[in-house]
Amino acid sequence: MTEAAVFLTRPQVPLEIISFFGKSTTSSLLVKGVAGTGKTTFALEMLEVMSSFENVYYVSTRVSNDALYRHYPWLRDKELHAPFKSRAGPKAQGPSAKEMAFLTPGDYFSKERFMYSGIRRLEEDGKGDEPVQKQKPERQLNFETPYLDRLGRREAIPDIEAVYRKVNENIPNKSFFVLDSLKGLVGKYHLEAEELVFTLQKDLVERNYADLLIVMEETGHTPIDFLVDGVVENRRFEEGGRRYRTITLQKLRGEEIRQPEYLLTLHDGHFKSIPPYSPLQLRSPLRVKPVQTPASFLSTGAKDLDDVLGGGYHVGSNVLVEFGPGVPNDATRLLVTSTILNALASGIGVMLTPFAGTSLGELESIAKAAGLENEFRNHLVITTYSGSAASANGDQINTLPLDFVNIEEDMKTYHRSRIALEDRTRKGVLEVVGVSTVVSRYGIEAYARDLNLSAERTRSAGNVTVRLATSEGPEALEKLAAVSDVHTGLIERCGAILFYGVKPKTQFYHISWKVEDGMPLPHVVQIV
């Protein structure tokens, strides 16, 4: 299986790392980061990824098997034997089976278990006060180990020799080892970290016998960085009481790093890196199936988002959607388009004041693709400049021409149109307002005067108003937040888009869009 094929089945690991380990030669990767950044979860995910190539082993100095299974229940199903294909080619393949073993402190002190059987043993030559002597049997390995010989002169190092013995058993097939953690290993045997890594690199990696992934609880540049082939660092950040993590690709020898940093989540005990946002291409035909909600709610257009917000938008509510710097207009448009299409498909009227990236022609094309052309023409009203070509076209029955001079007069016209739309649908109205558009037309002071009155009309009529505003306008945001019953936001991190709630408060969720069974739907995955 090539690294590209593995990526298709395990897309949660950055492609650069898959390709880095997917070569015919072996490599070493150092994973750095403070506690709680997801190093162990990443290491276990790589163990599963590499099991497509090699015999894989997890060597831990700090966590028992029971603890592993408790925190990562999916591991029980993965510790198995199955047919094994080697990267070394058909000639190198033998009758052996792929092995996945988790070797933890609970195994270190058990007799004749896992890789430690027969490596080293304390034997008593007598009784009473006679000293216990360490016996050092011949390794009988099929390859030279000059650096291990030098390292092992001081004292027995069974954990390390066990790795060598497993490598020897698997030759000519390759092995993949996770050493978690480097600090635990060197502390146990009073070794120098650089000395141990240098030994493993020279004896095993550079001789093409084993891939290594080494976990280390440090950050920043370290002497180990120069000894290994690759270095990645996990980091954790806090914003507004919400947490997110990243993985930074600092060095991958021989590999082109296309994206140096990825957002990640540890949802359901799995490591998942998140690719940057990719625009969704909507093609005909689309199928919009209204999302069923209780009578007191209006759906966002996606059950995932409804669940995050406790059921969707409560009727009579004012909603603020705040989007930060770097969030593509396309992402904001997709978020709101889902709500608009769901409202039209449900027979609910829509009043739209355009926001960045929207146009009457584009919305009409999407509505036609979704089979909602009649609903679009009869149940959607979009504000336009009275001097524009669209307003002059009498066929555009769903446009509302405004002068954009006096906000009080324009709002009277707007609300008369809203009441007429309510009478046609008998199901309420969804109002979508691009705040930057209104502010640019009338100014912040005039808009602020109308805001409270508009919010109160929404509540009394039992409608829903969604206002979209950029986080770069703090004065407007403060006023909008004060009148909003629901406050959500979109931000960009590492090229990915995160959704979050202020009212109600939620954690970060990665949001992306897919067309499934003809439906353009947003999907969310919690960032943990």
Outline where 280-386 has alpha helix (H). Answer: 303-308, 329-345, 360-369, 373-379
Is it the case that residue 69 has pLDDT exceeding 70?
no
Share of the chain above pLDDT 90, in %: 49
Mapping DSSP to helix (H, G, I), strand (E, B) and coil, where does residue 528 land? coil
Confidence band, pLDDT 50/70/90 cuts, at residue 11: low
pLDDT of residue 88: 45
What would the pLDDT profile of 432-474 be if each residue is shown by its tens digit? 999 998 998 899 999 999 999 999 999 999 999 999 999 877 7
Looking at residues 224-242, what average pLDDT do you find? 96
Is it the case that residue 426 has pLDDT exceeding 90?
no
Sign of the Cα pseudo-torsion (373, 377, 380, 384, in order):
positive
pLDDT of residue 486: 96
Instruction: Give the least confident one: 112-126, 342-356, 476-490, 491-505.
Output: 112-126
Instruction: Determine the angle formed by the axes of helices 444-461 and 474-483, rounding to 10 degrees.
Output: 20
Query: Edge-to-edge, what's the strand order for the sheet holding 81-83?
Result: 81-83, 97-103, 55-60, 175-180, 210-216, 28-32, 230-239, 242-252, 261-265, 272-274
Mapping DSSP to helix (H, G, I), strand (E, B) and coil, where does residue 135 land? strand
Q: Which domains does the chain have, with CATH numbers?
A: 3-176+190-274 (3.40.50.300), 297-526 (3.40.50.300)
What is 444-507 written as a DSSP string? HHHHHHHHHHHHHHHHHHT-EEEEEEETT-HHHHHHHHHH-SEEEEEEEETTEEEEEEEETT--
Confidence band, pLDDT 50/70/90 cuts, at residue 312: very high
pLDDT of residue 306: 94
Instruction: Give the least confident one: 25-34, 42-51, 130-139, 143-152.
Output: 130-139
pLDDT of residue 272: 94
What is the pTM for the complete model shown?
Answer: 0.84
pLDDT of residue 488: 96
What would the pLDDT profile of 367-390 be if each residue is shown by its tens digit? 888 888 888 888 999 998 876 655
Is it the case that residue 91 has pLDDT exceeding 80?
no
| Radius of gyration, CA atoms only, the chain | 31
Is it the case that residue 108 has pLDDT exceeding 70?
no
Is it the case that residue 37 has pLDDT exceeding 90?
yes
Compute the mean pLDDT over every residue in the chain, rounded to the nearest whole number.
Answer: 82
pLDDT of residue 123: 33
